[in-house]
Structure 1
Amino acid sequence: MAESARPIHPPTADSAWRYTAEQAARSRFFFDFDGVLSPVTDDPDASQPVAAALGVLEDLAAKVDRVAIVSARPVSFLRTRFESLAHVDLYGLYGLEVWHEGRVVTEPTAEPWVPAMADLAERARAELPSEILVEFKRLSVALHYRTAPQLADEAGAWGHEQAERHGLKIQGGRMVVELKPPVDQDKGMVISEGVKDSGCAWYFGDDMSDIKAFDALRAREAVDPEFFGMCVAVANPETGADVSVAADLTLESPAAVADFLTDGLRRF
């Protein structure tokens, strides 16, 4: 039977799955964690993947070339949630860390910033209202104002002041401001590298930083007419329509992501 033609954007779920199944040996899947595989929680340390996620990711990894999680979380955190998965790669801190062959590989240019980020976290806890949760991630500091949205401007102003003063990068997200080392790395760069030599790739995201990953799939399609990239958004009220507008398909929740994958695997 002849292979299907590359789907036209925006494709139907059925045509996307059918094409992916035909290209399974050259297909790769990438997922954000918070808001995609796990509901977003007030306490970041409380986040857990939805019950069906672990099994379906392992099943998916057995069918396609590669499955990876690309997150703003440190690899150390991701390992505690996905240590049972033998065939899923982990990219932490937007790709500054990678779980590779049983150990964490850190981007060398970022490593010297660990002491500075630790100091920044201490100052944030001392200078900002206690309602702002300060999350130290070794190579970044996140200022969460989910439980105190009225402090969004204060968190943002403090973050931008520190970024300018210390030459840091700043990343906005869902009720969070994050400060990172001035290292050229983001989810788009992870995906650009991750889809080399592949014929098909999917990315599931829910936040503004994930749009760069969507853009990386679009860019690969532009230079390789045989490549198919599928961008999937997960709906939420905090990023509005921006992520969904950039995607081919929108799902309603992390639980819906697991159900969608379970259904898709029946096509293989």
Structure 2
Amino acid sequence: MAETQRPIHPPSIADAWAVTAERAAETTFFFDFDGVLSPVTDDPDASQPVDAVPGVLESLAAAVRRVAIVSARPVSFLRSRFASLERVDLYGLYGLEVWHDGEVVTEPAALPWIPAMSDLAERARKELPAQILVEFKRLSVALHYRTAPQLAGEVERWGHEQAERHGLKIQGGRMVIELKPPVDQDKGMVITEAVRNARCGWYFGDDMSDIKAFDALRAREAVDPDFFGVAVAVANPETGAEVSIAADLTLESPDAVAAFLAEGLKTF
């Protein structure tokens, strides 16, 4: 189920769960969505969490201080997939949106960029080949070329031209590039703030943006040797090697993530 990429601390998965259970009241778990809780699909709107995920996340949230999903998806999308979860926080658009205690909070600095993002999505649909799926997320625009990988170069050139012309940030991913407002926010910043008062933190990710979250756990350990962090990669054919190298251990699929959590919960 799992393949260790480099020694974790403590040196076994059983020990990692034992430390986590001991510190449950001061532990936070974070998960990316696509590729971690759900298989990646050609049509982003068709993505659904694997069947076992909602139940195991709810059980985990009852056992530890906090569970959160940190995704490039908007909060509205995440809520549509996890409507039954009462204890799980949702960070959308790399943390520009947060669902917590029944409310959505949007980063104020990003709000003025909504019209520009809408215009950008319209231009992308007109100027890029029809095979490119343009996903408008209110505060960002994702350009998916999964069904037309031969167009990757054209999409990336267009995206970088738009980013330079309009002062936008660009984020690469698994067969996608995303254009975002020039607001200083990413998954690493979300995790840095979220683990500030924790003694244990886990992050599960599969893409390049998740490495910043792994780095945030490492940075927390560097300033507080008592903090225990575990970075978990989920294997994939596109970015899996790079993410696995940055992680403590690798799981093979979203189904394996759910099984790994269910097994770990037996420790509590």
TM bin (shorter chain): over 0.9
What is the percent sequence identity of the aligned residues?
80
1:174-206 superposed Cα distances (whole Å, 9 cap, x missing partner): 000100000000000000000011000000000
Q: Which residue of 1 aligns with 2:93?
A: 93
Q: CA deviation at 1:102?
A: 1.5
Give the match's secondary structure for 1:159.
helix
Q: How far apart, in 2, do the equivalents of 1:183 and 1:83 lie?
A: 29
Q: Which residue of 1 aligns with 2:3?
A: none
Matching residue's letter, 2:45: D
Q: In the alignment, is the contact (CA less than 8 A) between 1:50 and 1:254 conserved in 2?
A: yes
Give the match's secondary structure for 2:109.
coil
Q: In the alignment, is the contact (CA less than 8 A) between 1:11 and 1:248 conserved in 2?
A: no
Q: How far apart, in 2, do the equivalents of 1:103 and 1:199 lie?
A: 27
Q: CA deviation at 1:100?
A: 2.2
Q: How far apart, in 2, do the equivalents of 1:178 and 1:210 lie?
A: 15
Q: How far apart, in 1, do the equivalents of 2:35 and 2:207 lie?
A: 8
Deviates more, 1:72-81 or 1:233-242: 233-242
Count residues in correspondence. 262
Bigger relative contact order (CA 8 A; separation at least 6):
2
Q: CA deviation at 1:10?
A: 6.9
Give the match's secondary structure for 2:244.
helix
Gaps of 5+ in 2: 1-6
TM-score (norm 1): 0.96
Matches within 5 A, 1:168-179: 168-179=168-179
Q: CA deviation at 1:8?
A: 5.4
Q: Which residue of 2 aligns with 1:166?
A: 166
Alpha-carbon distance change, 200 to 160 in structure 1, aligned in 2, over 3 angstroms: same
Q: Which residue of 2 aligns with 1:17?
A: 17
Please give the root-mean-square deviation of Cα atoms over the aligned residues, in Å.
1.0
1:144-163 superposed Cα distances (whole Å, 9 cap, x missing partner): 00000000001100000000
Alpha-carbon distance change, 156 to 10 in structure 1, aligned in 2, over 3 angstroms: farther
Q: Which residue of 1 aligns with 2:237?
A: 237
Give the match's secondary structure for 1:192.
helix
Q: In the alignment, is the contact (CA less than 8 A) between 1:69 and 1:89 conserved in 2?
A: yes
Q: Which residue of 1 aligns with 2:148?
A: 148
Q: CA deviation at 1:121?
A: 0.1
TM-score (norm 2): 0.96
Are residue 228 (structure 1) and residue 228 (structure 2) matched?
yes
